[in-house]
């Protein structure tokens, strides 16, 4: 039962015929996983925390940067260099002290996706990589969990509600073999309004499902064009030959896995490299001592990370999960090898769990 304080707090949404007292109770008992807490995922997390969802699972491998702040309103200047999940956890607890939060300072990948999806009642998309989305999509189908696909770039957004075996899965209607050459926030930009609007619609669809209502974007893809001020809703259909969810699959799905090291969008004047090696937990105190012995200057230490400057490159952050984020002011061919070796040298003696 909801107590009087909770009823007063959420009174303006409880009176909605779409939610009511029973719906508010369902929200409080729900667990929502948000995969990626950047431009779309962070406003979605803020909305869900404010609405009284009981538990959020936040997954992100990145840190807060100056270039994020114009659209990722969950974060502040004081959060720069903090892991996004760490900064998000702190801010969301300020919004709703009763909210339970579980964080994964790491990418979504084949080693953690089943655990995360299995624990959630619904999964929300905050990703910027189709490869990561396909890893997620396949777990969604395996576990038969609902998934709100959402993406935003420039002044355009897409949203669709995926219910395994009731609707098409993501790979039925959105299949891209190669992401190279696709537009990114760094190359074409992104308007803060499109990320916020996309997140808002994603949350509406998710909360409809959680309170027992009917999502409006099942078997639909919503397309938003803020430049032309147009919104269109397109029918999407299950592919019965889909290798992931089809009743007559045309072979097995192609294997999808994260690369050992990935070059991401440049930001704050640096090329960004992710070393996607996840160990479960790394002893950051030991790593910090090794960094200081190497003569490097530490910029920030937190519960989940240590960030430092490197004179001949620019700097790096090591997350407690084992992920390394390298920042480089030069783009020569030896940079990936440099960050891989740096990662190896710092983590080989500091791994606590695998």
Determine if residue 39 is left, alpha or beta; phi over 0 gives left, psi from -120 to 50 gives alpha, anything else beta: alpha
Number of C-beta neighbours around residue 117 at 10 A: 24
- Spatial neighbors of 309 by CB under 8 A, at least 6 apart, are 296, 297, 298, 299, 315
Burial class for 78, CB neighbours closer than 10 Å (0-12, 13-18, 19+): exposed
**Going along 79-145, which residue ranges are E strands?**
100-104, 122-125
**Going along 226-283, which residue ranges are E strands?**
230-235, 261-267, 270-275, 281-282
Q: How far apart are CA 299 and CA 316, in angstroms?
A: 10
Report the candidate in 119, 115, 95, 93 with the shortest Cα–Cα distance to residue 106: 115
Helix axes 41-51, 84-95, angle to 10 degrees: 30
Q: How far apart are CA 128 and CA 40, in angstroms?
A: 9
Strands 324-328 and 270-275: antiparallel
CA-to-CA dists, residue 223 to 24, 135, 233, 235, 246, angstroms: 29, 23, 6, 11, 25
- Both tokens of 145, joined, read 């969990």
The dihedrals phi and psi of 315, each to the nearest 5 degrees, come to 175, 180
Q: Integer distance in angstroms from the first to the last C-alpha of the chain?
A: 41
For the question of residue 185 being annotated catalytic, the response is yes
Q: How far apart are CA 201 and CA 231, in angstroms?
A: 12
Spot the catalytic one: 169, 172, 185, 245. Answer: 185
Report the candidate in 349, 311, 352, 351 with the shortest Cα–Cα distance to residue 328: 311
Q: How far apart are CA 298 and CA 320, in angstroms?
A: 16
Residue 174 DSSP SS3: coil
Active-site residues, by number, are 185
């Amino acid at each position: 039962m909801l107590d009087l304080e909770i009823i007063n707090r959420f009174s303006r949404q409880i009176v909605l015929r779409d939610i009511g007292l029973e719906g508010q109770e369902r929200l409080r008992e729900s667990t929502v996983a948000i995969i990626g807490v950047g431009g779309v995922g962070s406003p979605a997390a803020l909305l869900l925390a404010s609405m009284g969802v009981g538990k959020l699972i936040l997954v992100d491998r990145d840190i807060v940067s100056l270039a994020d702040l114009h659209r990722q309103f969950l974060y502040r200047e004081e959060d720069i260099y903090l892991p996004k999940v760490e900064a998000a956890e702190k801010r969301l607890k300020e919004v709703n002290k009763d909210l339970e939060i579980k964080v994964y300072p790491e990418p979504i990948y084949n080693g953690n996706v089943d655990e995360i999806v299995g624990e959630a009642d619904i999964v929300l998309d905050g990703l910027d990589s189709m490869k990561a989305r396909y890893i997620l999509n396949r777990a969604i189908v395996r576990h038969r969990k609902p998934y709100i696909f959402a993406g935003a770039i420039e002044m355009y957004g897409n949203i669709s509600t995926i219910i395994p075996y009731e609707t098409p899965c993501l790979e039925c209607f959105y299949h891209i073999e190669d992401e190279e050459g696709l537009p990114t926030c760094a190359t074409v930009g992104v308007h803060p309004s499109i990320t916020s609007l996309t997140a808002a619609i994603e949350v509406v669809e998710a909360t409809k499902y959680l309170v027992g209502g009917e999502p409006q974007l099942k078997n639909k893809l919503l397309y938003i064009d803020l430049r032309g001020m147009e919104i269109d809703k397109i029918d999407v259909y299950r592919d019965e030959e889909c290798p992931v969810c089809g009743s007559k699959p045309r072979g097995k799905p192609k294997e999808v896995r994260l690369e050992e090291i990935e070059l991401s969008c440049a930001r704050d004047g640096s090329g960004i490299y992710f070393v996607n090696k996840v160990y479960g937990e790394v002893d950051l105190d030991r790593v910090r001592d090794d960094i200081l012995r190497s003569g490097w200057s530490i910029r920030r230490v937190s519960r989940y990370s240590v960030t430092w400057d490197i004179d001949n490159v620019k700097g790096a952050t090591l997350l407690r999960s084992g992920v390394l984020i390298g920042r480089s002011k030069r783009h020569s061919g030896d940079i990936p090898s440099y960050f891989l070796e740096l990662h190896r040298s710092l983590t080989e003696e500091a791994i606590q769990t695998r």
